[in-house]
A and B are shown apart, each in its own frame.
Chain A
Amino acid sequence: GAVVSQHPSRVICKSGTSVKIECRSLDFQATTMFWYRQFPKKSLMLMATSNEGSKATYEQGVEKDKFLINHASLTLSTLTVTSAHPEDSSFYICSAREPGLGDFFGPGTRLTVL
């Protein structure tokens, strides 16, 4: 149990385009999901908390108009990187919280912006 998927696993896009990443909890319902960013050989940096049916809560320094989060159902949260630039290239990871059991992570999405 407690499986979280992410799609796509890898995406390459041109500068100025928008990219949508999906995060799904496959075998449980998650009212809360989280989006992280990870730089090479670094720890995870929390970007935002995604709550089903309400607005996401962004961490300090994260532009909410740049990183749009939608948590429309109990099993799906999406992160859209709008007008992507090369500095947005990174490894993006989501997690879904199963109360009492912990936070379970997706396999990550490698974004490369040319």
Chain B
Amino acid sequence: SQQGEEDPQALSIQEGENATMNCSYKTSINNLQWYRQNSGRGLVHLILIRSNEREKHSGRLRVTLDTSKKSSSLLITASRAADTASYFCATNDYKLSFGAGTTVTVRA
């Protein structure tokens, strides 16, 4: 069953701006993962945040997790055209459940 739900569905920003997207889920989790998918390609693993972590960084990515609100956010700083992709969150209570994704378009 689908658990992670991303918001917004689509986001268009200018190169250099920050992009923020959110993920909400319904039940308790062990961890939450964020992925990027370019059109027609597989998923690229971006970051995993465990249920006992509140924030995690990886390069230009910053992920937060609020288990009390059952939500997570992904921030991409100083966006580039190459960041244009769909972004998915997936929660893990053994099997991953994916949301519909946020489509990010970075305009040059």
Residues on A close to B: CB < 8 A? Answer: 2, 4, 6, 34, 42-44, 46, 49, 91, 93, 95, 101-108, 110
> A43 and B88 in contact (CB under 8 A), knowing A103-B45, A110-B40?
yes
- Partner-contacting stretch, out of B15-23, B51-59, B64-72, B93-101: B93-101
Say whether B43 contacts A43, CB under 8 Å.
no
Chain B contacts with A in 27-73, Cβ cutoff 8 A = 31, 33, 35, 40-45, 48
Residues on B close to A: CB < 8 A? Answer: 2, 31, 33, 35, 40-45, 48, 88, 90, 92, 95-101
- Chief secondary structure at chain B's binding surface: strand
Q: How many A-B residue pairs have CB under 8 A?
A: 47
Closest residue to B86 on the A side, CB-wise? Answer: A41
Cα distance A4–B42 in the bound complex, in angstroms: 10
